[in-house]
């Protein structure tokens, strides 16, 4: 019996819980929120789709009742405020740091062995915060950003190529920010063929640029940040962990010398399995890609430093 808790039953959290149940990724899904009745109501609504969508996973919603989350295998943290049009993910830090810290502490009281998947923004800094305040072994803290950004990258590639998105491979590494993420165009392929053989430089540059502002584009259209792809990306990360699928997914993890970095959580390709992130894939970056990675790490570090300024760590 697998049990997953999703903290925050807002747009991203509820979508993630829905995908976890619908795709039968977890047998039991707990949604927890601070807003009285919201998680309960959304869980009831989702359970009423079980016969229509043919799943037997059970979803339970609770208001701040951490005892109900006990013995979760994986806990997804989405609680916090999302950005509004014109805001950067970094502007959310003050409010979300307090929320992520208290949620992580409460969760571990009841699920001391859980693997944490951090989604709240600014995600790289919230993952770093979670690793500092919980002191958990590094493999049990996984930040979700690259799974979403890579999915957006593959979508834009498939549109430019006019092909099935499931047949496109591509990875986004680095920070999860409009200017910090690095879609690695050189390694993107369609059925094993480098996309650079199939698209003009201009078309590929546009795909990269569209990917980087993918979140901001949606925030502009929706008035708040997106949720279908973020929720599904969170569920995909959980799936590889819970089912020990050993999939390679770019995730935000703590680096100790890999990619030339220390004391930082940032996006790199990792193998996801039952122990959390199990192995870092060491991409042989070009000098230009390395330079971008270093610039990305510096920007993430700058945001991490705010945690010290506000005494969150």
Ligand X SMILES: NC(=O)c1ccc[n+]([C@@H]2O[C@H](COP(=O)([O-])OP(=O)(O)OC[C@H]3O[C@@H](n4cnc5c(N)ncnc54)[C@H](O)[C@@H]3O)[C@@H](O)[C@H]2O)c1
Residue 9, interface with ligand X (CB under 6 A)?
A: yes
Distance of closest approach, residue 185 Cβ to ligand X, in angstroms: 20
- In the list 19, 30, 104, 144, the residue contacting ligand X (rule: CB under 6 A) is 144
- In the list 7, 75, 181, 297, the residue contacting ligand X (rule: CB under 6 A) is 7
Per-residue binding string, ligand X, 150-189, x by CB under 6 A, is: --------------------------x-------------
Binding segment toward ligand X, per CB under 6 A, in 65-73, 119-127, 157-165, 277-285: 119-127
Cβ(40)–Cβ(9) under 8 Å?
Answer: no
Residues whose CB is less than 8 angstroms from the CB of residue 263 and which lie 6 or more positions away in sequence, other chains included: none
The angle at the Cα of 4, spanning 71 to 125, to the nearest 5 degrees, equals: 100
Cβ(134)–Cβ(254) under 8 Å?
Answer: no
Residue 103, interface with ligand X (CB under 6 A)?
A: yes
Residue 146, interface with ligand X (CB under 6 A)?
A: no
Longest dimension (CA), the chain: 55
Distance CA 42, CA 31 (A): 9
Q: Which 53-92 positions form the footprint of ligand X (CB under 6 A)? A: 78-83, 92
- In the list 3, 5, 6, 8, the residue contacting ligand X (rule: CB under 6 A) is 8
Residue tagged active-site, from 42, 152, 176, 292: 176
Burial of 261-288, coded b for 16+ CB within 10 Å and e otherwise, reads beebbbbbbbbbbeebbeebeebebeee
Strands (E), 214-285: 247-256, 262-273, 276-280
Residue 121, interface with ligand X (CB under 6 A)?
A: yes
Distance CA 24, CA 150 (A): 23
Residues whose CB is less than 8 angstroms from the CB of residue 18 and which lie 6 or more positions away in sequence, other chains included: 46, 59, 231
Residue 119, interface with ligand X (CB under 6 A)?
A: yes
Cβ(210)–Cβ(217) under 8 Å?
Answer: yes
Distance CA 154, CA 164 (A): 10
Reply yes or no on whether 243 is catalytic: no
Binding segment toward ligand X, per CB under 6 A, in 28-36, 187-195, 237-245, 303-311: 28-36
Using CB positions, name the residue nearest to ligand X.
10
Nearer to ligand X, 35 or 302 (CB): 35
Q: Which 259-298 positions form the footprint of ligand X (CB under 6 A)? A: none
Distance of closest approach, residue 193 Cβ to ligand X, in angstroms: 29
- In the list 10, 61, 250, 273, the residue contacting ligand X (rule: CB under 6 A) is 10
Residues of this chain that interact with ligand X (CB under 6 A) are 7-13, 32-35, 38, 78-83, 92, 96, 99, 103, 119-121, 123, 144-145, 148, 176, 224-227, 230
What residues are annotated to the active site? 176
């Amino acid at each position: 019996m697998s049990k997953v808790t999703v903290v925050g039953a807002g747009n991203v959290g509820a979508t993630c819980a829905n995908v976890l149940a619908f795709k039968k990724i977890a047998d039991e899904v707990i949604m927890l929120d601070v807003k009285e009745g919201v998680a309960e109501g959304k869980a009831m609504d989702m359970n009423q789709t079980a016969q229509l969508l043919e799943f037997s996973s059970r979803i339970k919603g609770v208001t701040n009742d951490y005892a109900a989350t006990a013995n979760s295998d994986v806990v997804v943290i989405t609680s916090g405020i999302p950005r509004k049009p014109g805001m950067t993910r970094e502007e959310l830090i003050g409010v979300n740091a307090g929320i992520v810290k208290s949620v992580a502490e409460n969760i571990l009281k009841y699920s001391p062995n859980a693997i944490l998947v951090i989604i709240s923004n600014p995600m790289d800094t919230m993952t770093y915060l979670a690793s500092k305040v919980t002191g958990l072994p590094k493999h049990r803290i996984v930040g979700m950003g690259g799974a979403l950004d890579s999915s957006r990258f593959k979508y834009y590639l498939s549109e430019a190529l006019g092909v099935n998105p499931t047949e496109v491979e591509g990875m986004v590494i680095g920070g999860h920010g409009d200017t910090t993420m690095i879609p690695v165009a050189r390694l993107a392929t369609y059925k094993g063929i480098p996309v650079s053989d199939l698209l003009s430089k201009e078309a590929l540059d546009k795909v990269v640029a569209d990917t980087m502002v993918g979140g901001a584009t949606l925030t502009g259209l929706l008035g708040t940040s997106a949720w279908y792809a973020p929720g599904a990306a969170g569920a995909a990360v959980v799936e590889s962990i819970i089912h020990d699928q050993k999939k390679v997914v770019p995730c935000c993890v703590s680096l100790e010398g890999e990619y030339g970095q220390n004391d930082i959580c940032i996006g790199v390709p990792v193998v996801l399995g039952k122990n959390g992130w199990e192995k870092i894939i060491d991409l042989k970056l070009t000098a230009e890609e390395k330079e971008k990675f270093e610039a990305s790490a510096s920007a993430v570090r700058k945001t991490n430093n705010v945690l010290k300024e506000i005494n969150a760590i």
